[in-house]
Amino acid sequence: MGEPQPILDPLSKAALFLVATIDEGGESAVRDLLAELPGLRRSVGFRVPGADLSCVTSIGSTAWDRLFAGPKPSELHEFPGYEGPRHQAPATPGDLLFHIKAETPDACFELAMVIGDRLRGAATVVDETVGFRYFEQRDLLGFVDGTENPEGSQAVSTALIDGSDPDFAGGSYVIVQKYLHDLGAWNALSVTEQELVIGRTKLGDFELSDADKPANSHVAVNTLYDPDGTQRQILRANMPFGSVRDGEFGTYYVAYAAAPDVTERMLERMFLGSDEAAYDRILDFSTAVTGTLFFTPPAGFFDALPDPARTDTAVVEQAPALGDGSLGIGTLRRKD
């Protein structure tokens, strides 16, 4: 297995997320940045001792076809989006994801500026989110986030590809979404009502008993089992974000997994419902506004990038336009 990027590291105090789309003709410059990025990270990190600066870089499906020839991660595809009876999870554009992490925000910001400068004229940053660690690793709803993350060897098997896709062993799939919270409506609930929505106690962070935990609680909906009884998990790296001026308060959802279908099954249950619940009750207070799927290559991938993709019409035809002239990015309804 190749050495992974630092997705297994503990949650940092600061994070900055950049999502970018590659401009027409920008492929060569983006490849140059990907090759230079480990060195750029070292240069910035050396200037901020103790910041423990890292950058997890991930690539979308359409971008992969534009950037690289040769094999492609076997399960890499566009985020499908979900349109449930009451709540929606949009699929939004994104070719590149830079998950920048550090113990200090200045290190994150400096590396983000360097990346932005290298991308100028070659790619467009479509989303920039500044995350921070909040009290006892709580989200802005006041609950601890990520308690059930797998640890040790279980985290490795949960998040990293093994020999099932040998060309990309040590890599991972990541789905990111921005959720905006209606704190007014949330804070109007009693603590007991909030605990029933989440499925955990607010102060002590203990999971409610099966007898007390509603079927549509966030914990119940996101507890996933295979038919043989094996629990399926993901590795979350969620971070709160917010703006007092704009009145926006949210969670940047980051889910790493060895196979994207695990995260997608959880999202299906959240938005489309299941036999036990019509939808995840947390969605009455948290609205998804973005959604994108990427592949996170192992660290060594950037030391020897695959050959560039061909630029003839055969490659262009891999993503045919729909009748409205779009590529289908942003559609909300899942296509089976």
CA neighbor of 200 nearest in space, from 282, 283, 274 = 282
Q: Which of 127, 145, 205, 261 is the catalytic position?
A: 145
Mark whether 205 is an active-site residue.
Answer: no
Task: Report residue 146: phi and psi, to 5°.
Answer: 95, 15
250 with 273: CB under 8 angstroms?
Answer: no
Tokens of 182: 């209606």
How far apart CA 138 and CA 76 sit, in angstroms, is 31
User: Taken in order 56, 128, 234, 135, is the CA torsion positive or negative?
Assistant: positive
Tokens of 197: 């929505």
Tokens of 72: 């492609």
Helices (H) and strands (E) in the chain, counts: 9, 14
Question: If you search the block for the tokens 């020897």, which residue do you land on?
Answer: 304
176 with 196: CB under 8 angstroms?
Answer: no
How far apart CA 160 and CA 171 sit, in angstroms, is 6
Active site residues: 145
